[in-house]
């Protein structure tokens, strides 16, 4: 499975990133922060939207946490049951973020560990 979120592919995406960069620069240049900054390191002088968009495209990263591609649930679209068993097979379990029916409010690492630990205990017979 390849998940392509297609970041920065629309004019709205690029507009929002330009606005975020402008806000960050405005905050960074405030007088209140003068004692903690010498000069702006990045992005430096940029002329026009094309240069700003290029900087953004070369610089931004994501904390892309795909989940829900094999989501757990009782409804017809869910492919994994409450025991993390793939509904179509008896001995295949899915124990990763793909079973999460919804995205967590923060990074998903802790939720994935909880899923894995719970499954391990259940599978071992200690739960």
| Known catalytic residue at 65 | yes
| Residue 112 CB contacts under 8 Å (≥ 6 apart), including other chains | 96, 97, 100
Identify the CA nearest to 107 among candidates 63, 49, 50, 74: 63
* Active-site choice (29, 63, 64, 65): 65
Strand partners, 17: none
For the chain, the first-to-last Cα distance in angstroms comes to 32
**Residue in the block written with tokens 């017809």:** 76
Catalytic residues: 65
């Amino acid at each position: 499975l390849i998940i392509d979120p297609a970041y920065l592919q629309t004019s709205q995406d690029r507009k929002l990133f330009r606005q975020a960069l402008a806000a960050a620069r405005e905050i960074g240049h405030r007088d209140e922060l003068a004692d903690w900054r010498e000069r702006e390191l990045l992005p430096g002088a940029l002329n026009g939207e094309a240069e700003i968009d290029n900087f953004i495209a070369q610089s931004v990263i994501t904390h892309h946490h795909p989940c829900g591609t094999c989501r757990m649930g009782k409804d017809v679209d869910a492919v994994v049951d409450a025991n993390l068993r793939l509904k179509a097979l008896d001995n295949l379990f899915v124990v990763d973020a793909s079973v999460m029916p919804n995205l967590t409010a923060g990074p998903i690492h802790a939720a994935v560990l909880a899923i894995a630990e719970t499954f391990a205990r259940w599978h071992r017979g200690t739960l």
